[in-house]
Amino acid sequence: MAAVKGSKQEKMIVVPRRFWHSSSGVLLLCCLAFLVGLLLVKLGQWQQSRVNVDARAEGSWLSASVSKNTAELKALQTRLVQAEQVTSVDKLALQDLRVNIERLRQQISQLEEDVIFYKEIADSGGGEQGLVVSQLDLLSTDAPDHYRYKIKFEQVGGASEIVQGYASIAVAGVKDDMELTLPLVALSNSLQGENIRLRFRAFQDVEGELTLPYGFEPARMEILAVTEEPDSKTLQKNFSWLVESEQQAIPR
């Protein structure tokens, strides 16, 4: 076999070239990583902005709901106050009506008693002589439970003698579901003693002011009169507790 002459041949090894291992690949990979990171940042910012927008929208809706509910609450509270005021007015009107009805009942009862009293005098043919308790006036004042009173004692029958004696006056009523009878001297500074001295020819007025205890509900005024001259006589007279204002009072 003939030998081939020439230059000496070096043995060569073929190695496959990897792009990512090259500087260009590394640079491209860095760029891609940067772009992906930038995209992720932008995506995060967009999501955060979307969350902020949704939160602001939700907050605005909640604020509007709070304002609406607050306005409705104030309106309901106003209506409640108005309803309570109307109810109070209705209650006061009903109370005033009941007071007026009771006052009229007492007035009728007192008038009936007076009719009977004067009818007895008339039926006696004018023979009734001596002391009578003919009138009681009770007037309200600006102070609570404080009243002015005036009681008229007079002599009937045309007698000319001087009547002498004394009278004892008390107020009967209820307090704490218990019946009480309070002497007038304990209620009025106008009196010096329990017995009121009487001395007159035609009539005598006993008047002053009294204050009732708190919670005491008066029902009537009880008057006991005793004469010593010109003859001995005992008279018991009860008046219903009928109070008039100074404007309602009619001079007698």
Percent of the chain surpassing pLDDT 70: 64
Q: Could you tell me the pTM of the whole model?
A: 0.50
Contact residues for 195 (Cβ-Cβ < 8 A; gap 6+) = 166, 167, 168
When pLDDT is averaged across residues 166-188 and rounded to a whole number, the result is: 93
Please give the Cα distance from 89 to 67 (Å, whole number).
33
The per-residue pLDDT for 74 is 79
Q: Which of 59-68, 153-162, 225-234 has the lowest mean pLDDT?
A: 59-68
Please give the Cα distance from 178 to 215 (Å, whole number).
11
**Residue 125 in this model has a pLDDT that exceeds 50:** no
**Residue found under tokens 């939160």:** 55
When pLDDT is averaged across residues 183-207 and rounded to a whole number, the result is: 88
